[in-house]
Amino acid sequence: MTVTLKDVATLAGVSVKTVSNVVNGYAFVKPENRRRVEEALAATGYRPNVGARNLRRGRTGFLALMVPELSIPYFGELAGLVITAAQKRGWSVLIEQTQGTRSRERETLSSLGPHLVDGALVHPEALEAADFPSPGEIPLVMLGEHAVDVPIDHVAIDNVLAAQTAVTHLASLGRTRIAAIGRNPSRGTSSQRLAGYRSALDSAGLSYSDSLVAPAEKWHRSVGAAAMRSLLALPAPPDAVFCFNDLLAIGAMRAVAELGLRVPEDVAIVGFDNNEESAFSLPSLTTIAPDKAALAEAAIELVHRRITGDKTSPPQDIQTPFALEIRESTGG
């Protein structure tokens, strides 16, 4: 038989309201009463009816997370952290994969609404300002770079500064022909990391050469390997490479090895994202390590505030930390 709040209250010797306060996590319960309720909950195996609770609150109990590709480890790791952070607030997460195309991103965003989810976290690659719903339709938080200028909450690391940090590290090693892999005009992330790359070169007194910047339609291992082979075929090949994500860097290291060269002796390589793979590659990969847990927590906190009543304050722009993880691919 289904255990009710009244059953738990009878066993604990307290009121139904006290049991409800404990179940809902309210702090204003006497320690002794809380102990008795928790023991009664364990003894009866009571499980709250989440659907009924959300219905009373006028909520669905779901958040949406929109990402380009789950096959890219960064997004898979981020999704797991968002799910963990959302569960602490009592939400389940629906994940949509868009492949980073405007049509799929627009279709996904337009399908979200209060009938389906309470709010959404979106990591756009190709959306334009006109594609976003009117403010107030559904609480939204943008993850990653400012791909478009829209008045919604935003959480990201400083991609320009992070790229500067990576390239400055390579320049500090005495490398003078520093290439970049990952240019893609349709991706806001790419534009910001390219800007950081150029800024670091300028600060180090190194000249920018367009021939040392390899395009990448997809940020996959195979694309990184192909770009690295092209760079090494130049009359004056690079002695260091900044890759716009770890998968490009892993592919680049493979190409260097296939050509009989060594990392970092012949070519030092830095990635971006600090995926788990980067610590176990051979050599291990120096990379920019965003605090993905902090990003997920901040995003969930922002969407929680909007859902629970803060609907009129100006949008917040939160920058979460990052660090340079120095490993063997640059001599660490």
56-108 confidence digits (pLDDT tens): 455 688 999 999 999 999 999 999 999 999 998 889 999 999 988 889 998 98
Q: How many helices (H) and strands (E) does the chain have?
A: 12, 12
Distance CA 324, CA 113 (A): 39
| Token pair 């969407």 in the structure block, residue | 303
Task: State yes or no: pLDDT of 222 exceeds 80.
Answer: yes
Please, which residues bridge with residue 97 across strands?
67
CA–CA gap between residue 111 and residue 243 (Å, rounded): 35
Contacts of 196 (CB under 8 A, 6+ apart): 159, 160, 161, 162, 163, 164, 165, 166, 167
pTM: 0.81
CB burial of 230-241 (b: ≥16 within 10 Å; e: otherwise) equals bbbeeeebbbbb
Q: What's the chain's average pLDDT?
A: 90
Residue 177 CB-density burial (10 A; 0-12 exposed, 13-18 middle, 19+ buried)? middle
Count, residues in the chain: 332
Q: What number is the average pLDDT over the span 14-34? A: 84
